[in-house]
Structures are given as C-alpha cells and as structure tokens.
Structure 1
C-alpha cells in the first residue's frame, strides 16, 4: 500500500492492463492476479480476499448503451445466486476521448453475506465492454472499485 498525503486511507499500488486487440485499458491493484480470457476478456483476482474484477467484450452489439445496460441488469435480477438485489447508484461517466459510459452499483445477498458490485458499460463501433468489480461488503472496497471502474479507457477514443 502506498500512503496518501493528507491522513487519508492508503491507496493500493496499481498496474495498467492493456488489451491491444480489443482496444481497452484499465488499472487494477498490483497484487491481484490477472488472466486473459477468450474473446478479449480478462479476470483479476485478489489472492487474499473476496474481491475480483472481470472484463467481457461482446462483438456485434446493435443497441443503445441504455438498452445494453438494461439487458445486463435483467439477467442479473434473474440470477439464482443473487438475492435481495439493491440498486445503490447509477451514473454516466466520461471516458477519455469524450465517449460516455454507464456505471451501476448494486448490493446483494448470497449465502447470507452482503456483496457489492460496481459495473461499467461502454459501447464502441458495435462492440460492448463490461467491466465488473465484485467484493464482500465487509472488505470496504468501495473506493477501489470506483477507481478501477472509472480508469477504464478505450484506445479507439
């Protein structure tokens, strides 16, 4: 951990992940394991805790960003492993280059524990990108999840 200057909580040292083929990048904690996934995706895993992140890439997306997010949220609500889904926040963010992405934050219960997730959705030239960060709520990783999600950038911008 790298200390901050004004008595704030320490922030994690980060690395940058770049996928040249699918044209995106993001920062993630340097001590997390990284694994490239098929079709441009990647997974990031905290070896000491409950946190993790994934990027999925969907080719051939033919809808608006709003519809893309809505379809994902419908699937999330139908997931049998998720109970008591609670919407916490939904906002648009500007990516580098001026493209708009949508961020949603939710809490849910699974096996009696409260979990959190922050997901960022972006579209570019018919390709959809979903970056999700999930963690056990007891781990208090809200700021880290926001930092990872809002670091997402498309190299096509």
Structure 2
C-alpha cells in the first residue's frame, strides 16, 4: 500500500512539473522536473485543514479568513462565516464539529484553543474521507501517518 501511495504522489507531482529527488548532502527534496517561466505559480494547494488563530477567532471567516460581514453559526455559536457560500463550502466538515461544539457549555467553549479546533477538524476530515463522504487526493492521503504510527507502536512492543 505504501508503494501505491508513493506512486500516486509522484504522479500528482509530475503533473505539476515537480519531482522528489535525493539531493547530495541535503537529503530528499522537491525539485523542478521542467522549466518554469518567471512569476509562474509552481505549486498552490488548499491546506488539508485550517482554523483561525486565537487573535482572529471571531474576527475572520472560518472558511476563507475574510474579516467582512461576519455572522456566527446559529447552532454552535463558535464558528464565524462571511457569507452563506463560505458556510455551505464548510458545511460537510462543520456539521460534525458543530454538533460537538453546540453541546459544550459557554465556559468550555472559551477554553477551545486553535490547536484543539484544528485537531478536531483533522479527525473529522479524515473520518469523512474514510467514509467517502468527501474526496481525498494523493497529496492529502493519510496512509504515511498511519504507517508511521503502526511502526512506532510495533517498536514499543519489541
């Protein structure tokens, strides 16, 4: 399975004109596999998961980080959105998060850190991808983390 994941990543990178290569004295790195024009975007990708930091919580959209026309989620009262379009784009992920947040007391909601919110979003996104409720790509495949985790656990029991 690891080999197929590596091939999938190599295929994704090749389509973008990039490759993974061993660089003497430096280790593995991402290199250009073709010529690029000055100013050409080489790689741009949405983050696997994101959340506003504590400073901007309540002052930026949970989806696009815009700071205009913000409205709180009417159910959990934790997430903020600048438009119904951003709220709809985020809904598959926020729906599960929203249920959990809505059950928290106001004191507990105040204790939520950006790190906790990000971890919740990571777990929810992985769950939805495993259930095929949302798509995943070769780039955001979670298999390497699972493989690393299982190797670490097996080394503890040796």
Shared fold per TM-score greater than 0.5: no
Greater helix proportion: 2
Whichever structure has more strand as a proportion of its residues is: 1
Scaled by the length of structure 1, the TM-score of the pair is 0.24
Between the two structures, name the one with larger relative contact order (CA 8 Å, sep ≥ 6): 1
TM-score (normalised: structure 2): 0.23
